[in-house]
């Protein structure tokens, strides 16, 4: 799905230090900010260094022609997506239709010490077959600077925790509580999306919102 991005890491000298998750999140941010987004804000949103941000912007522009500079009255307002960049993001959004901040206080029944963590939600279409026990997704979240990630699987009726070879009785015990399901359902609906059978709902956790968002998205990328 991301083969065309490989050119971003090609270099005759030092390989760029940004990760795939930084590229995808940057493209999402460019799409959300049609009036342009500047390098310094992008640096903060991606939680990476100035030099890394500059390298990412340059390569998205020169290697892929995914972004361009938006100017108004000879003033640079920031970078925006080009037509090819927008088409790429639309393809990714078909699999990842939701990336949105969550309310950790409502998740206290499924997240340990939720009051000490920020949360971000990510919805991935048709990802159940790529999930075993959720450990790979948790590890991916931690690797990018998050505090972990929790995956919930939608079976068409309920959101359940990842597990295999369980009896029906045990399956009933790993369903999320109704109030949590209703909260998650409302977040998805209010974002203009909906749950579909075989979806994976990911809760990324971090010490701040930026890290929580990276955690959720990096966990999602393991099943794309």
Domains of the chain: 3-92 (1.10.10.10), 96-221 (3.30.1360.30)
Nearest CA to 99 among 23, 183, 204?
Answer: 204
Nearest CA to 196 among 160, 152, 156?
Answer: 156
Cα→Cα distances 190→30, 98, 100, 105, 125, Å:
22, 11, 11, 19, 17
What is the pLDDT, as a whole number, of residue 164? 59
130 in Cβ contact with 198 (< 8 Å):
no
Q: Which helix (H) or strand (E) holds 67?
A: strand 67-72
Q: How far is CA 32 from the centre of its chain?
A: 14
The SS3 of residue 26 is helix
pLDDT tens, per residue, the chain with 224 residues: 999 999 999 988 888 999 999 999 999 999 999 999 999 999 999 999 999 999 999 999 999 999 999 988 767 889 999 999 999 999 999 999 999 999 999 999 999 888 889 999 999 999 999 999 999 999 999 999 999 999 999 999 999 999 755 545 555 558 999 999 999 999 999 999 999 999 999 999 999 999 999 999 999 999 99
What is the pLDDT, as a whole number, of residue 85? 98
What is the pLDDT, as a whole number, of residue 173? 56
What is the pLDDT, as a whole number, of residue 171? 56
Nearest CA to 45 among 103, 98, 142, 120?
Answer: 120
Which pTM was predicted? 0.94
What is the pLDDT, as a whole number, of residue 174? 86
| 158 burial level (CB within 10 Å; 0-12, 13-18, 19+) | middle
Query: DSSP string of 153-207?
Result: EE-SS-EE----S--HHHHHHTBPPHHHHHHHHHHHHHTT----TT-EEEEEEES
Please tell me what DSSP assigns to residue 74: T
Please tell me what DSSP assigns to residue 16: P
Query: DSSP string of 41-56?
Result: HHHHHHT--HHHHHHH
Residue 182 neighbours by CB distance under 10 Å: 12
Token output for 37: 């987004």
Q: CA-CA distance, 102 to 218, in Å (whole number)?
A: 16
């Amino acid at each position: 799905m991301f083969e065309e991005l490989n050119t971003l890491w090609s270099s005759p000298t030092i390989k760029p230090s940004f990760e795939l998750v930084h590229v995808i999140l940057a493209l999402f941010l460019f799409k959300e900010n049609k009036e342009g987004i500047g390098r310094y804000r992008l640096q903060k949103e991606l939680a990476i260094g100035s030099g890394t941000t500059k390298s990412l912007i340059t390569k998205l522009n020169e290697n892929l022609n995914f972004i361009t500079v938006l100017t108004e009255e000879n003033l640079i307002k920031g970078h925006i997506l080009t037509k090819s960049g927008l088409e790429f993001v639309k393809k990714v959004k078909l699999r990842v239709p939701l990336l949105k901040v969550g309310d950790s206080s409502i998740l206290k029944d499924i997240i340990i010490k939720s009051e000490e963590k920020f949360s971000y939600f990510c919805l991935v279409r048709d990802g159940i077959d790529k999930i075993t026990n959720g450990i790979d997704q948790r590890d991916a979240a931690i690797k990018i600077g998050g505090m972990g990630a929790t995956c919930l699987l939608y079976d068409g009726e309920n959101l359940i925790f990842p597990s295999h070879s369980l009896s029906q009785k045990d399956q009933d015990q790993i369903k999320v509580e109704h109030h949590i399901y209703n909260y998650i359902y409302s977040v998805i609906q209010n974002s203009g999306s909906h749950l579909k059978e075989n979806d994976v709902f990911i809760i990324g956790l971090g010490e701040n919102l930026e890290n929580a968002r990276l955690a959720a998205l990096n966990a999602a990328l393991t099943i794309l």
